Amino acid sequence: MGMLDLRDLLTGRRDGAKPIAHDLAPANTSASASATAPQTSSVSAADSDVEAYIQIKSRLHLQILERVDLASLESMTELQLRREISTQVDWLLQENPAPINDAERRMLVRDIQNEMLGLGPLELLMADASVSDILVNSYRQIYVERHGRLELTKVRFTDDQHLLRIIDKIVSRVGRRIDESSPMVDARLPDGSRVNAVIPPIALDGPTVSIRRFAAIPLKMNDLVKTHRSLTTEMATLLQGLARAKVNMIISGGTGSGKTTLLNILSGTIPETERIVTIEDAAELQLQQPHVIRLETRPPNIEGKGEVNQRALMRNALRMRPDRILMGEVRGAEAVDMLQAMNTGHEGSMTTIHANNSRDAISRLENMISMAGLNLPLKAMRQQITSAISVVIQANRLADGQRKITSIQEITGMEGDVVTMQEIFAYQQTGVDARGKAVGHFMATGLRPKITEKLRNAGVDLPDALFDSSLRYE
């Protein structure tokens, strides 16, 4: 079975469908399964087949759990456990034969192994590299995001209990816990993917999980420019120049708009000679430089103790003699310490912020500074912000799923109480095509950034043509 068939199943596109049980094999093992699977031309593989397979599987799963000593399972290595499960399935099927062929039996074994060890039905989705987000709304409704679009899958859990068991496995594996008294949890899978789970009583319709996949091969600037058309070569040149010239920048955008991806790419232009400290809630940045110290926050433990927040990490980072500090996302009072760092010699520091446009990003920062309880007057706050940050990059996720850098603005100073900004590049959407895809163009506004001087001093010389406002880029 090829990856394509698998995707058809997951998205409910079932033209030319194969027997359903084959489709349920984890993708990474499906090649061997299809090699021996009899080629049937059945097109009747419908929901009932899925149900039948799920029933056999969960029956066997339960029977195994009944038969084996759970404590002894815990002390086994993964390999031992896989062998034990395989043996158990064989025994159970001998005692009580099920209407499945040899290939399906092996698939059953693998599915049960994965469930007892890993993420259960989610393993299948995790194995599909084109899936970027997995959104489990309930045990029976699971969406994935692929190429920026949401698709309903046919993957499902047996019931709420089943889903809960998998959630418990995920979070306990990384030393977190989830129960009625703490029904929300953020965790990171061994492969770096981010998981958020919420269970009742907070989640009204049963346990729910959102997994933000970790791209095995992170996007590069070239992918953003050429493949995704998220920005132009000119904009990319400017941004990379700014990063190299140690200009403090903030990447603003909505959820999933590509902020972290861009931060990661821009961090790639930091010279290897510089010492970088990263601060994140859930480590996502993948810096390639040798001189990097990564710090991650910690939630409080069961007694409410031991929390280490971004603010504490920020303060600590300042004592580590960093050349640059990269903060994954600024969310609260740590904004004060971050701006201070940017103002006091840790130039070229970057972060992201959740905001709808560049102005909004500034007012969000003001709110965050207020959260620190310093009681600074508004004007003083704005002065802090203007002197610390030079450029605001706005990322947007358009209605059709495309990610675009819709604006690059320079913070030029203050007029009275107002922060002044000038836009250097903008994206203008002009409409949508027949398939609902946004149509528009990027353009330079014709304004040259005031920090050109600083760029030049840092050896970054940008040609005038870069800022030519008569050019339109699709």
Ligand X SMILES: Nc1ncnc2c1ncn2[C@@H]1O[C@H](COP(=O)(O)OP(=O)(O)OP(=O)(O)O)[C@@H](O)[C@H]1O
Residue with token string 């990097």: 292
Closest among 473, 437, 466 to 449, alpha carbons compared? 466
Closest approach of Mg ion to the CB of residue 276, in Å: 18
CA–CA separation, 195 vs 203, rounded Å?
16
- Is residue 228 a contact residue for ligand X (CB under 6 A)? yes
CA–CA separation, 385 vs 370, rounded Å?
13
- Is residue 255 a contact residue for ligand X (CB under 6 A)? yes
Based on CB atoms, which residue is closest to Mg ion, 113 or 260? Answer: 260
Closest approach of Mg ion to the CB of residue 352, in Å: 6
Closest approach of ligand X to the CB of residue 404, in Å: 8
Contacts of 204 (CB under 8 A, 6+ apart): none
Q: Which does 219 bind (CB under 5 to 8 A by kind): ligand X, Mg ion, none?
A: ligand X
CA–CA separation, 451 vs 249, rounded Å?
12
Q: Which does 403 bind (CB under 5 to 8 A by kind): ligand X, Mg ion, none?
A: ligand X
The binder of ligand X chosen from 230, 297, 358, 386 (CB under 6 A): 230
The binder of ligand X chosen from 73, 93, 198, 215 (CB under 6 A): 215
Q: How many CB atoms lie within 10 A of CB 319?
A: 7
Lookup: tokens for 215: 């791209």
Closest approach of ligand X to the CB of residue 85, in Å: 33
Evaluate the omega torsion of the peptide bond into residue 300 and state whether it is cis, within 30 degrees of 0: no
Among residue numbers 96 through 125, which ones bind ligand X (CB under 6 A)? none
Based on CB atoms, which residue is closest to Mg ion, 162 or 259? Answer: 259
Q: Which residue is nearest to ligand X (CB)?
A: 258
Of how many residues is the chain composed?
A: 474
Closest approach of ligand X to the CB of residue 306, in Å: 25
Based on CB atoms, which residue is closest to ligand X, 260 or 310? Answer: 260
Q: Are 339 and 385 in contact (CB under 8 A)?
A: yes
Contacts of 292 (CB under 8 A, 6+ apart): 276, 277, 278
Q: Supply the DSSP string of 183-197, one letter for each residue.
A: -EEEEE-TTS-EEEE
Closest approach of Mg ion to the CB of residue 440, in Å: 24
Closest approach of ligand X to the CB of residue 285, in Å: 10
Q: What is the CA radius of gyration of the chain?
A: 26
Contacts of 377 (CB under 8 A, 6+ apart): none
Closest among 271, 284, 289 to 218, alpha carbons compared? 284
Residue with token string 């004592």: 319
- Is residue 283 a contact residue for ligand X (CB under 6 A)? no
Question: 259-278 mask for ligand X (x: CB under 6 A)?
Answer: xxx-----------------
Based on CB atoms, which residue is closest to ligand X, 169 or 397? Answer: 397
Q: Which does 257 bind (CB under 5 to 8 A by kind): Mg ion, ligand X, none?
A: ligand X
Based on CB atoms, which residue is closest to ligand X, 89 or 131? Answer: 131
Based on CB atoms, which residue is closest to ligand X, 82 or 403? Answer: 403
Task: Kindly list the residues in this chain that would bind ligand X in the complex (CB under 6 A).
Answer: 132, 212, 215, 219, 224, 228, 230, 253, 255-261, 329, 403
